[in-house]
Amino acid sequence: MPRFNYGGQALIEGVLMRGRDAIAVALRHPDGRIVYATESLGSGFHGSRWAKLPFVRGLIVLYETLIVGTRWLVRSASLQAQEDDVEIGKGAIALMLGFTLLMGVGVFFLLPLFLSSVLTSGNPSGLAQPAVEGLIQVAIFLGYLTIISRMPDIHRVFQYHGAEHKTIHALEAGDTLDPESIGKYPTAHPRCGTEFLVVLIALSIFTFSLVGKQEPLVMIGSRFVLIPVLAAVGYEILRLGARYRSNPVVKAIMWPGILVQMITTKQPTPDMIEVAIVSMEEALKADGQELPAGAGTLPRDVMQLPKPGDVDRARRATVPEAEAAAPVSIDPPLPGV
């Protein structure tokens, strides 16, 4: 079993596996083939001494995950739409991430703050507002996950999420990477991003209860300032929780995160597990690790990715000159990410 803890992310009809220094992606092509690609991690901080420091490493991993995950999520959607010549640039990624983060902070932190302040405006107790805010946060979080899980496309993504977890379980157990062996493992995993969100919400409820009811600007400012700090602390708690999961106390504390994964992970089909297997095997190879016995037998093809300039050249060859002035991609893709 590799000494490094592998993680992953579900995509549209595919799985991304993150290794020590590289990521691998496997997608189910609309024609039925499994296609894959690998690329190195190169955020500028990756591999540096900063990336090994407690509390800092979590923010670096989160940054890399957001950048890489967003780009490959768009690519996987484009593949299913048969738009293989569309490439997302770094400007578009920054815009999408900025909007997503603002929406996340607004819906899951500022909206509960506003609603709880209105509902407890006549209550003199300093603990009433934080308590109501926490309840609203939990309700919004669980309600949002429950609603989107009923959407057919998201349900399939959650199935691939389950396939990713099962494959990681099998690797960590030293089991063979085949659909039959992997199928017996649970869809929940203690290092899941869903569990990280549960930990983050729990930390925010505790921390903002200490801040208490203050002037509106102070309470709003505290949310923006403390969220990165809570994310860094949450990452370390998640690492410790995974390391000491056999401890009954730790297992009980982290159990809510496993329960929430009943929403965000679903039982995958064997063909979904095959995609996760290819992604894991390619991630292992990209890291220079040996493949488990019997691995590498599933057929796969290298994914052809567009290069900077390819899109414009292709369009100029097929559309009138006047229309060719409209660019398809905003700018070249991020180098080495």
Of 157, 164, 166, the residue nearest 12 (C-alpha): 157
Question: What angle do the packed helices 270-286 and 152-172 form, to 10 degrees?
Answer: 50
Is residue 167 within 8 A of residue 182, CB to CB? The reply is yes
For 41, 91, 246, 295, the CA distances from 290, given in Å and listed in that order, are 20, 37, 28, 10
pLDDT confidence of residue 257: 92
Report the chain's mean pLDDT, rounded to a whole number.
84
Most confident of 147-161, 210-224, 296-310: 147-161
Residues of the chain with pLDDT > 70, as a percent, come to 84
pLDDT confidence of residue 314: 40
Phi, psi of 293 (to 5 degrees): -60, 135
pLDDT confidence of residue 329: 27
Sequence-separated contacts (24+) of 41-48 with Cβ below 8 Å: 41/68, 41/336, 41/337, 42/335, 42/336, 42/337, 43/67, 43/337, 46/21, 47/21
Of 99-103, 138-142, 266-270, least confident by mean pLDDT is 99-103
Confidence grade of residue 152 (pLDDT, cut at 50, 70, 90): very high
| Residue extents of the structural domains in the chain | 7-325
Overall average pLDDT of the 150-161 stretch = 95
Is residue 88 within 8 A of residue 74, CB to CB? The reply is yes
pLDDT confidence of residue 318: 38
pLDDT confidence of residue 52: 82
Overall average pLDDT of the 302-316 stretch = 57
Most confident of 24-33, 220-229, 244-253: 24-33
Overall average pLDDT of the 222-235 stretch = 91
In the numeric block, which tokens belong to residue 303? 């994914």
Confidence grade of residue 317 (pLDDT, cut at 50, 70, 90): very low
pLDDT confidence of residue 100: 78
Of 286, 326, 329, the residue nearest 309 (C-alpha): 329
pLDDT confidence of residue 334: 34
Is residue 234 within 8 A of residue 203, CB to CB? The reply is yes
What are the tens digits of pLDDT across the range 47-80? 777 778 898 888 888 888 888 888 899 899 888 8
Overall average pLDDT of the 256-281 stretch = 96
Overall average pLDDT of the 100-128 stretch = 86
Confidence grade of residue 130 (pLDDT, cut at 50, 70, 90): confident
CA–CA gap between residue 256 and residue 263 (Å, rounded): 12
Answer whether residue 320 shows pLDDT above 80.
no
Of 31, 34, 78, the residue nearest 276 (C-alpha): 34
Residue type, 53: L
Answer whether residue 176 shows pLDDT above 70.
yes
Sequence-separated contacts (24+) of 143-148 with Cβ below 8 Å: 144/107, 145/260, 145/263, 145/264, 146/263
Is residue 62 within 8 A of residue 55, CB to CB? The reply is no
Residues of the chain with pLDDT > 90, as a percent, come to 47
Residue type, 52: K
pLDDT confidence of residue 36: 97
Overall average pLDDT of the 93-115 stretch = 83
- Burial code (b: 16+ CB inside 10 Å, e: under 16) for 133-145 equals bbebbbebbeeeb
